[in-house]
Chains A and B, each alone.
Chain A
Amino acid sequence: MTITSNAGSDLTPQVELVTVVVDGVAIEIPKGTLVIRAAELLGIEIPRFCDHPLLEPVAACRMCLVDIEGVPKPQPACAQVVSDGMQVRTQLTSPIARDAQEGVMEFLLLNHPLDCPVCDKGGECPLQNQAMSAGRPESRFEEVKRTFPKPINVSAQILLDRERCVSCARCTRFADQIAGDPMLELLERGSNQQVGTAADQPFDSYFSGNTVQICPVGALTSAAYRFRSRPFDLVSVPTTCEHCASGCSLRTDHRRGTVTRRLAWDEPAVNEEWNCDKGRFAFTYQEQGRVATPLIREDGNLRPASWPEALDVAARGLAAATSHGVLVGGRSTVEDAYAYARFARAVLQSDNIDFRVRDSSDEEAQFLRSSVAGTAVRTTYESLEKAPAVVLIAFEPEDESPIVFLRLRKAARGGGTRVYSVGAAVTRGLSKLAGTLIPAKPGAEASVLTDLPAKVRAELSTPGAVIMVGERIAGIEGGATAVLELARSTGASIAWVPRRAGERGALDAGALAGLLPGGRPLSDDLARGAVAACWGVESLPATTGLAGESLLRAVTGGGIGALITGGIELADLPDQALGRAAIEAAAFVVALENHHSAITELADVVFPVAVVTEKSGTFMNWEGRPRPFAQTFKDALVMSDAIVLGMLARAMNAPIGASDVAGIRQELGSLGAWAGARAEEPNTPAGQVVDAAYLVSTWRALIDNGVMQEGEPYLAATAHAVAATCSAVTVADLGAPENVTVTGPLGSLTLPLLIGDVLDGVVCLPLNSPGCALYRDLGVRSGQAVTIGGAV
């Protein structure tokens, strides 16, 4: 099903097979396979600790020793490569292997505290399990165990009980090989060997939680989960992460109606076995600050109301307005976004709809309609790994799509993929990708793209090359146009990587003015007819409605009377005053929200809706790959946006199709893909760089002020330091003060000043971090001018 615009990347090389015999059973496997993997294929489990299929072998724990014919000593199966005719005997058939493994297990337990009853890992512990399967019943050890003071923090989130550690080096290898944050290291020698960090450098990796998960003992625990539960008391549900467009498979564990933890789940095509700390730890928001009942405004104040009453008030309020607008947040599932798209067109007869409640532009909307919405899966994680070159534009993968970052790092580390980033700074992420900066001042990205170095252009012309475009392309005038032109002229494929989990799905569901589900242009009569038939309505609005800031201005100007909002944050808008003014100006506002927020304070009717744990649904990740997830709490009474919209439609006497997930999926399936003509591509001239001494370059840090990270202080404490970063030259120009005051139209911020690999005259600031919310505090976007002054 993978179609790439560059042919030739799908050729599978011929694999040489060898025959190896494990415990008397022969198997043909590719040359170079490790013995432990060969045994796994035969269903023979060799005990192991240090071995991990995604980490390089280290053969340190010696638990997997097996007997190989013709080799005098037992060999570690995790590091031994098979050869043709090799005869391997595991613990199942060889007394030597069995004895070696029992010996190693006895050694491993010497200095282990055996505190399983108070250990978080107890019940799901490889050491506990393998001590049962591969150990002797009793130890002969009578001496005194080595102990350490416990526990120590290797970061605010990760705690280390050193005496439990078996020195398998999984965590240190993960930090070094996978995350590229080698801040965890083994220290000291012999039985004093321990995992640790440098005194001034905690393990503040965005991926630190994975070390807890791959730790084969209870040495690494998270502050969030430590002592919270026993694994055998938990109910586990496979889910999909709602935080970004990477689309990670997760396992959500819950107990007594509360989520206790989330784990990265195995999905080789997407997240392999990893996830980021936001996806792992940021779930407490699901419970706090929830809207409990429908609310209606009476005498200027919100009061709780019954569902029938609230639906009635909402239906009458919406019916009274002559024009409507629909704002869908980027966190919607495909099904919910589809329900909004359908409600807007079929019930409200309006095409004023947008899912981009953030910095957006008409050029971006054209780009998404013409080149992204409803397109077949083209660029995947797997194709990134094989790509000869990847150019990043308006995209900082480590912050904005961490699993894309991990896969790019794997690709770059494998040696085959060169990464380029068009931007103003060599970021921490880019240097970990061994990437090259193509310097572009904020605002100059489009012209830099049109005038790329010949070497990069040549690499982009190699089959398999990819241009990865972040959602910040919306803030770059002419950026999307330049990307399309670059792709056309080089043959490289485009991957649009939005930041939020729901954006790609909302786009494909048609939650954007001028666009119907499956990438159908609203202006196309055939497309419109087919969708109208599917929805059981006579006609759909035929002219493209308003989107983005135009929509908000129309509300403010009185052109649009009523608004329906679904899961939006006014703080996400660059022009927050405009957003607030629009909501205030609207005659009638219906908000579907799960949390109290600025929107619920202003709305006329508020309907409580479900968070991800209370509903099933689908997120579509940046690849365009559907990532369905199950309902965690089966008996949750909170309804999804789609069901509430269905009830509202009935209350307005305009019932539309299915509201449940299965029904909507069926509807979407029956609509199918669009093979007809696509919407027109943008043609916007490249923007000009603002002429000013200091320009802002900004993006959202992975761990920042996002509302879905609320209630998780340990996670928040691992965020990267908030600072203004400038080049050495700029810092010198400023007189190298310790702190600087950055001033924009709305105010000033005083921040520590750091020297970084940044273009001269550019200041890098986090967009929405503690003490640095640019839209709110300064009123500036990327590429806009600020003044900088030294401060005490």
Chain B
Amino acid sequence: MITSGLTPIITEHWDKPDLYTIEGYRRVGGYQALAAALKMDPDAIIGQIKDSGLRGRGGAGFPTGMKWGFVPQNDGKPHYLVVNADESEPGACKDIPIMLANPHALVEGVIISSYAIRASHAFIYIRGEVPHAIRKVAFAVEQARASGFIGENIFGTDFSLDVVVHSGAGAYICGEETALLDSLEGYRGQPRLKPPFPAVAGLYASPTVINNVETIANIPYIIDRGVAWFRQFGTEKSPGFKVFSVSGHVVRPGIYEAPLGITMRELLDYAGGIRGGGEVKFWLPGGSSVPMLTAEHLDVPMTYEDMATAGTMLGTGTPMLFDKTVSVVKAVTRWLEFYKHESCGKCTPCREGTYWITGVLEKFEHGHGSPAEVDTLVNLCSQIAGRSFCALGDAAATPYPAALKFFRAEFEAATTTSANEQFDPVASYVFAETVTR
């Protein structure tokens, strides 16, 4: 089991300037997996993905092969594959780079996955704010179509597929899979009542698989190189590799592809450590929706199971690190302002709760509020978590209790001293060194 070192696979050829073209991708072995896959029985592909233990890279970590297996076969209905490329999680920046640098890995994965679940129509729903990524993927799809990888009777088989690249319109909630389906159908994006689950009645009330970009980009490599190769990376419960996007107060923020099970400390080393030789104050392993950790957790392996044990989640696997210059009050307030802005409004706890919590946090940030409210907020978060319609509410209820666990004193002080008085905001800027020098 390889759980350390960098293992560039999806990112292996990112230094080649023409990787985004079909010629560049094929030069490094692209679309070999597709040719092999189309010779396989679709069920065998599903079996291979099940055996690989690949878990969804969108945040929840649900086993991909099992998800595919839920799609009823021979039901006479059209099946759909929908790629969730609505990467909007604060701190997450891994799907968009994949789409920019290696879009054909995604497209090849889409074709293979569609073949496996017997879908003849696939949709790639890309966040609307990244037109450059939309253009890259649309270009890749057109090139694949021109090469006969998309269209009627691919490689002379019975398999036909159309792929639609769809642009979102700027709502975080559309990353929630059922809201994404509503948005794709032309409705206002709000999560749907489950059951029925998308695997049974998803897009246009037909069986639908929704997978993350990185998940789908894994598929060609698993088909091409096999289950045993894939499972040599990571752990038993979290096999494979992960495109980690490391951001924050590190010397070299960026994309680091490494096996699951690597520690934050090792990733931090690759990123050059905290700027100016400083220390981590707190960090989040996978976007703002997962509970924060501190320097004492730097040696916890980055796996789904170990992160859960540590009281957090791997999430999107996109660590954000903050050094000692940062006011946790301010950080949490910014996140809650985000959730308030992005709450879709459907359910009461999330719609009203984010409004309330944000109001109180903004008071804290400015040195107002009462000590009693420090605990009221915990109660409010508990009124949202587990009671909202979808996971957005749960996510909104996450940052504050997690922060309070480690930094209670800072919140209590905030009732009298503003965040800017506690922490010089200039010191936390990326360009702080220039300023202080």
Contact = CB atoms under 8 A, between A and B. Distances in A.
A59 B346 CA distance: 9
A456 interface: no
A509 B193 CA distance: 52
Contacts of A104: 348-349, 383, 387
Nearest to B363: A143
Given A107-B356, A143-B356, A62 B387 contact: yes
B188 A108 contact: no
B348 A190 contact: no
A182 to B, nearest CB: 11
B342 A62 contact: no
Interface string A177-220: 00000000110111111000000000000000000000000000
B353 interface: yes
Contact of B386 (A59, A72, A108, A111): A72
Nearest to A145: B355
Contact of A167 (B173, B342, B346): B346
Interface string B339-355: 01111111111011111
Contacts of B378: none
Interface in A134-192: 140-141, 143-144, 146, 166-167, 185-186, 188-192
Contacts of B383: 100, 103-104, 106-107
Given A141-B356, A186-B345, A190-B341, A59 B193 contact: yes
A708 interface: no
A31 to B, nearest CB: 15
Contact of B387 (A60, A100, A185, A190): A100
A107 B353 contact: yes
B352 A74 contact: no
A725 to B, nearest CB: 28
B123 to A, nearest CB: 23
B73 interface: no
A103 B386 CA distance: 12
B193 A191 contact: no
Interface string A527-560: 0000000000000000000000000000000000
A190 B355 contact: yes
A166 B340 CA distance: 17
A484 interface: no
A143 B354 CA distance: 12
A62 B345 contact: no
A62 B340 CA distance: 18
Nearest to A193: B345
B386 A191 contact: no
A110 interface: yes
A73 interface: yes
A65 interface: yes
B340 A61 contact: no
A190 B389 contact: no
A190 B352 CA distance: 8
Contacts of A146: 355
B181 to A, nearest CB: 16
Contacts of B376: 140
Contacts of A79: 193
A144 B360 CA distance: 10
Given A63-B348, A73-B386, A104-B348, A57 B343 contact: no
Given A62-B348, A189-B345, A110 B356 contact: yes
Given A107-B353, A110-B355, A185-B188, A191 B347 contact: no
B341 A59 contact: no
A59 B173 CA distance: 17
A191 B348 contact: no
Contacts of A60: 346-348, 389
Interface string B379-413: 00001001111000000000000000000000000
Interface in A50-79: 57-63, 65, 72-74, 79
A682 B351 CA distance: 65
Nearest to B339: A190
B349 A189 contact: no
A60 B342 CA distance: 16
B254 interface: no
B387 A103 contact: yes
A752 B348 CA distance: 46
B171 interface: yes
B359 interface: yes
A689 to B, nearest CB: 42
A111 B343 CA distance: 15
A636 B193 CA distance: 53
A114 to B, nearest CB: 14
A190 B351 contact: yes
A626 B347 CA distance: 44
A111 B348 contact: no
B387 A74 contact: yes
B341 A107 contact: no
A104 B351 CA distance: 11
B381 to A, nearest CB: 11
A653 B372 CA distance: 90
Nearest to A103: B383
Contacts of B386: 72-74
Of B171, B356, B359, most A-chain CB atoms within 10 Å = B356
A189 B193 contact: no
B188 A107 contact: no
Contacts of A103: 349, 383, 387
Contacts of A100: 383, 387
Contacts of B188: 185-186
A188 B345 contact: yes
Contact of A61 (B341, B347, B359): B347
B355 A73 contact: no
A191 B351 contact: yes
Given A72-B386, A103-B387, A190 B344 contact: yes
A135 to B, nearest CB: 13
Interface string A78-108: 0100000000000000000000100110111
Contacts of B344: 189-190, 193
A70 B109 CA distance: 38
A64 B389 CA distance: 13
Contacts of B193: 57-59, 79
A358 to B, nearest CB: 45
A73 B384 CA distance: 11
A193 B351 CA distance: 9
Contact of B341 (A144, A167, A185, A189): A189
A166 B348 CA distance: 8
Contacts of B345: 167, 186, 188-193
Contacts of B387: 62, 65, 73-74, 100, 103-104
Nearest to A78: B193
B348 A107 contact: yes
Given A73-B387, A167-B351, A190 B340 contact: yes
Contact of B348 (A61, A144, A186): A61
A189 B352 contact: no
A79 B343 CA distance: 21
A189 B354 CA distance: 12
Nearest to B173: A189
B347 A144 contact: no
Contacts of A110: 352, 355-356
Of B344, B345, B352, B354, most A-chain CB atoms within 10 Å = B352
Given A143-B359, A166-B348, 17 more contacts: A59-B347, A62-B349, A62-B387, A72-B386, A107-B356, A110-B355, A111-B355, A140-B376, A143-B355, A143-B363, A167-B345, A186-B345, A190-B340, A190-B351, A191-B340, A191-B352, A191-B355
14 contacts: A59-B347, A59-B389, A62-B389, A63-B348, A104-B349, A104-B387, A107-B349, A110-B355, A110-B356, A140-B376, A167-B345, A186-B188, A189-B171, A193-B351
Interface of A: 57-63, 65, 72-74, 79, 100, 103-104, 106-108, 110-111, 140-141, 143-144, 146, 166-167, 185-186, 188-193
A-B residue pairs, 5 tightest by C-beta: A193-B345, A103-B383, A143-B359, A107-B352, A190-B343
